[in-house]
Amino acid sequence: MKQSQETLVVGTGGRGLVEITAPVRRFAAAGGVATGLLTLWCRHTSASLLVQENADPEVRADLEAFFARLAPEVPGRYLHESEGPDDMPAHIRAALTQTQLSVPVTQGRLVLGTWQGIYLWEHRRSAHRREVALHLIGA
């Protein structure tokens, strides 16, 4: 059984989905695992991880618009406002999505569908430096 770990640092430009498929694929390929499981863990409470379509950018725009309606930035709506009006909506968005993903590895490659990409979803308005812990295990 082989294992490898790495922390992927992702710079965001503010709210939005940042595709991280390419560096995650490189990590999995370098791990020397033919069959196994890759786990990704977002180390933040105002960002999340998502597997989503990577062909049509309108999908990502629609997701952003939906979550803006679901968890809007409305002054006075939330008790937690000490970190700015976008912070509590960011926590809600992260709670409703995922902070952990598991992706199977077969023949040394991630088992992703044709149009699937892996994204870090920044829920705050300002740019951040986010960390995603990667752990690969298999044979």
Per-residue pLDDT tens digits for 68-111? 999 999 989 999 999 999 999 999 999 999 999 999 999 999 99
Residue with tokens 């725009």: 61
Which CATH architecture fits 2-138? Sandwich (2.60)
What does the pLDDT look like over 18-63, one tens digit per residue? 999 999 999 999 999 999 999 999 999 999 999 999 999 999 999 9
Residue 16: which pLDDT band, with cuts at 50, 70 and 90? very high
Return the domain boundaries, the chain. 2-138
- Model pTM? 0.96
How does DSSP classify residue 62?
H
| Cβ pair 15, 127 in contact under 8 A | no
- pLDDT (0 to 100) of residue 100: 98
